[in-house]
Structure 1
Amino acid sequence: MQPQHSNNTTALAPWWLPIALTNGQCWQYTVGPLILFLQRLPTEWLLGYTIQSEQEERYQLASQQAERLPQLDNLQRFVFRESPAQFCLTPKLLDRPVVVKTRTKISIPPAQQAVFYISSPVMVEVNVLQPQCNLTNISSQRLSDTWFGPSTLHGELCYADKTQARHNRQEIPARPHRAVTAITIENNADTMLELDKLSIPVPYLALYGLHDGTLWTDPITLQHDGNLALTRFKITKQLPAGVTAAARVAEPRQHIEKQGLFRAFTGMFND
């Protein structure tokens, strides 16, 4: 069972379906900036990858046979008594929150709320099947580390990214390596909420993969009550239009605590 091959950003296809290789066959998979190479041998699987820079094409999706395995510094060998015939790539959300810096400052007046569609890159879990064995996990995009909190003593280590914080779902570009989160921000304080950084708690969210190749997470609501230290966070029960529970491809890495408090806005005025 193989996905359709496409380089068209508007005609994606699920890239998490199994693929069978014959002995000696090489395969190249491109998911956004990640280019992955695999080869099956009688008692081994070989795996290597490269990640394109920010300036290069990041929306590409391609799955095709390769003539040979390229010379890669990170090439790995996985040895079996008899190599499994199939491999499968599985998208997973990142293991830390993602702090996104909006390209324009956002202001939400008192007693108002707004919905934003913000995407974050996924990890790619590489498995062989029958029997299933996880070979490696690769980030589809290079992200830097950032500390998010009011001080070096209070906060947590996160990944840093940038976003357009789109207000209209129709404006979301089709990108196979990024999962979209619908975020409702409620300003329950009596002052203007101004933000240019936002922390997305992706380890608490499930991941959904649609037939068109797009990825979505559980929607979330962030409630701002005037305290920048902690924000009330809840996972919205109603999934975005077109997303169903049957499309779930990955469970949350962590489960939310009962009080549902999360550092979403703290430190947003500090670069």
Structure 2
Amino acid sequence: MQTGEVQQALNLEEKTWYAMSLGDLTLYLQQKGSELLTATAYQSNDAPPLCQVLHPVEQLADGVKIKERLYIGDPEEQYRIQLQLADKPYQVKTDTPIRIGPNGHLVLYVSTPLWVQLISTSGQVMSEYPAVSPRLSWVGSSTTEGALCYSSKSTAPADITQVQRREHRAVTAMELVNSGTAPLSVERLSLPLNMLSLYYASGEGFWTESVRFRIEPGSGETTIVASAKPPLDIGEAKLISEPRESGKSSRLKTAMNLIMG
């Protein structure tokens, strides 16, 4: 998928269904006067991921029903399709526990699913759909202190040559730094995707900025620092979408115990 296909303006023939597919999602669109009809279908998550640009179809697939009717209001406004990162942090669990020695550091690569957004020319997000149905979880120091997030498992390779690029996922380079004098055990990390940008590099796929986690083993206190761009190893990367949270800071500090190992 090229960047021109990602940020695609909608130019739909009236009363004709169109479909695009990404990951497990198939999104159907139809322009009907001043309203845009939408419908969605999700395949089984163990099926090969889909990737198909917007194209006309004869009708909705069997069993698929209209999900929404969207009205922009201003007749001069138009829609475009854009990809974005998740709207909540992702709690990433590694397949196997990781231990880092005192003052040691390690870079891991994880990927997370993208979201497909319908945006007006003025920048309003009218609706959005995850490429893969996410699983909700909770991150925090207790059942009352924390926040909802998504969760997923990852092989989290430490070698960039082993990173699998997929059209419906973005890769993040996570540097884990043990700032203490005892070994650090890591099983889960909370990745603040809602505060990161989405980039695209030709031949390398979708990436976010690199993120550094500086962790104190005793207390679990974590300082998160987001870099200005993805790793240099992927070459030139084009910005696709800005962070969801406009108050993004390059230095994100939290006293929450983000390490669940």
Q: Which among 144, 149, 169 is matched to residue 135 of structure 2?
A: 144
Q: 1:151 to 1:27 in 2, by over 3 A?
A: same
Aligned residues: 257
Map Cα deviations across residues 153-194 of structure 1 (whole Å, 9 max, x no partner).
332221111111121222222222211111111112111111
CA–CA distance in structure 2, aligned partners of residues 166 and 263 of structure 1: 27
**1:56 corresponds to which letter in structure 2?**
A
8 A Cα contact 1:39 1:69, kept in partner: no
Runs of at least 5 residues in structure 1 that lack an aligned partner in the other structure: 5-11
Offset of 1:15 from its aligned partner? 2.7
**2:136 corresponds to which letter in structure 1?**
D
What RMSD in Å do the two structures reach over aligned CA positions? Answer: 2.9
CA–CA distance in structure 1, aligned partners of residues 255 and 153 of structure 2: 18
Offset of 1:257 from its aligned partner? 5.7
Q: 1:227 to 1:253 in 2, by over 3 A?
A: farther
What is the TM-score with the length of structure 2 in the denominator? 0.85
Offset of 1:36 from its aligned partner? 0.5
**How many percent of aligned residue pairs carry the same amino acid?**
25
Offset of 1:142 from its aligned partner? 1.4
1:262 aligns with 2:261: no
Offset of 1:86 from its aligned partner? 6.1
Question: Who is 1:54 aligned against?
Answer: 45
CA–CA distance in structure 1, aligned partners of residues 219 and 248 of structure 2: 19
1:122 aligns with 2:114: yes
Q: 1:133 to 1:184 in 2, by over 3 A?
A: closer
8 A Cα contact 1:148 1:157, kept in partner: yes
Q: 1:132 to 1:237 in 2, by over 3 A?
A: closer
1:98 aligns with 2:90: yes
CA–CA distance in structure 1, aligned partners of residues 255 and 114 of structure 2: 21
Question: Who is 1:214 aligned against?
Answer: 205
CA–CA distance in structure 2, aligned partners of residues 187 and 258 of structure 1: 20
Question: Who is 1:205 aligned against?
Answer: 196
8 A Cα contact 2:226 2:250, kept in partner: no
**2:89 corresponds to which letter in structure 1?**
P
CA–CA distance in structure 2, aligned partners of residues 225 and 107 of structure 1: 13
1:20 partner SS: coil
